[in-house]
Amino acid sequence: MNLKERYVAAESRYDDAQNLYLRCGRSGVLLPKVSLGFWHNFGGVDPYERSRAITHYAFDHGITHFDLANNYGPPYGTAEETFGRLMVDDFRPYRDELFISSKAGYDMWPGPYGEWGSRKYLMASLDQSLRRMNLDYVDLFYSHRYDPNTPLEETLQALVDIVRAGKALYVGISSWPLEALKVADRYLRERDVPLLIYQGRLNMLDRAPQEQGILDYCADNGIGFISFSPLAQGLLTDKYLDTIPAGSRMSRETSLPSSRLTPELRDHLRQLNAQAAERGESLAEMALAWVLAQRGITSVLVGASSVEQMECNMKCIYAKPF
């Protein structure tokens, strides 16, 4: 699409609302079963028109939830800048139809206040994120990682105060251990800012949140769970069965090193691919449907480097039950 053309969202975007949305824990919020993450493919190094086309496709099909973080890019901050540009170019009229999250926790700027879980860092980071994204508030703000050296109460009180200041509507935590999740749940509930959602990595190759009891705790306590890297960064698709395609995430040797692809893993992926074929599905479709079928799941948070991938991934909504 030419930048000068005005984006008008598809009128049909909520036609399939019955199948698309799930309630997030015991809250008033419905999230799409498939959400779109901005970790890769939306940075300053990526072509804006491609990022824009993926985002349009998603929203045109009812995907209302976009997930960001301060350090997504590369370079850091530029995924939020891309989103800010999309807000200005396309999404301003649709702000109230969107559920936008951001996070702080990983290294963002130099010095002692640019990462982890202090009040100083979280408050400053969210203010920066809002400026980059051209937003007055985010719908959801996360502590991106557990900080063993900051009192949990300091991090949690910062989240409470961020909501009280109107800069976020809801709060979440990502990749916190179970005992810290329990503290967060209690602390936030007592202050009437209940924990909306937990973000963790769950996919057919990595079931840690289930094994650690995190998913059950969320399900039993009315907390939503959104699964990041549900395709194991692309491993759970048909792309690495025979080769490492040029331009793929693994070929770039960034967050998915080629050393991961051992002969044993490739055999396992081929078996899963055969299982998917028996179900009449692609491996990606089956892998996402598997996550959605687990107890306590609200949404799979996928990445996509093309509209075609997004289209393929959304098919999981209609996959056969497990």
Question: For binding to ligand NAP (CB under 6 A), which residues are involved?
Answer: 37-41, 67, 144, 174-175, 199, 228-234, 237, 239, 248-249, 284, 301-305, 309, 312-313
Using the minimum distance from each CB to ligand NAP, give the nearer residue, 191 or 212.
212
Structure-token pair, residue 260: 């991961």
Using the minimum distance from each CB to ligand NAP, give the nearer residue, 221 or 313.
313
Q: What's the min distance (Å) between Cβ of 227 and ligand NAP?
A: 8
Structure-token pair, residue 308: 């075609």
Q: What's the min distance (Å) between Cβ of 303 and ligand NAP?
A: 2
Using the minimum distance from each CB to ligand NAP, give the nearer residue, 93 or 257.
257
Using the minimum distance from each CB to ligand NAP, give the nearer residue, 93 or 254.
254
Using the minimum distance from each CB to ligand NAP, give the nearer residue, 190 or 308.
308
CA of residue 190 relative to chain centroid, distance: 27
Q: How many H helices and E strands in the chain?
A: 11, 10
With CB atoms as reference, the residue minimizing the distance to ligand NAP is: 37
Paired residues of 102 in beta bridges: 141
State the Cα–Cα distance between residues 315 and 310, nearest whole angstrom. Answer: 9
Using the minimum distance from each CB to ligand NAP, give the nearer residue, 14 or 238.
238
Q: What's the min distance (Å) between Cβ of 123 and ligand NAP?
A: 20
Q: What's the min distance (Å) between Cβ of 192 and ligand NAP?
A: 25
Q: What's the min distance (Å) between Cβ of 237 and ligand NAP?
A: 4
Q: What's the min distance (Å) between Cβ of 304 and ligand NAP?
A: 5
Return phi, psi of residue 13, to 5°. -65, -25
Output the CA–CA distances (angstroms, integers) from residue 224 to 174, 213, 240, in the order listed: 12, 14, 31
Q: What's the min distance (Å) between Cβ of 57 and ligand NAP?
A: 13
Using the minimum distance from each CB to ligand NAP, give the nearer residue, 165 or 277.
277
Q: 212 burial class (0-12, 13-18, 19+ CB within 10 angstroms)? A: middle
Instruction: Name the amino acid, one letter, at 275.
Output: Q
Number of residues that make up the chain: 322
Helices (H), ranges, the chain: 17-20, 48-60, 78-86, 119-133, 152-164, 178-190, 208-211, 214-220, 263-278, 283-293, 307-314
Q: What's the min distance (Å) between Cβ of 247 and ligand NAP?
A: 7
State the Cα–Cα distance between residues 189 and 207, nearest whole angstrom. Answer: 27
Using the minimum distance from each CB to ligand NAP, give the nearer residue, 140 or 301.
301
Paired residues of 140 in beta bridges: 101, 170
Instruction: Name the amino acid, one letter, at 3.
Output: L
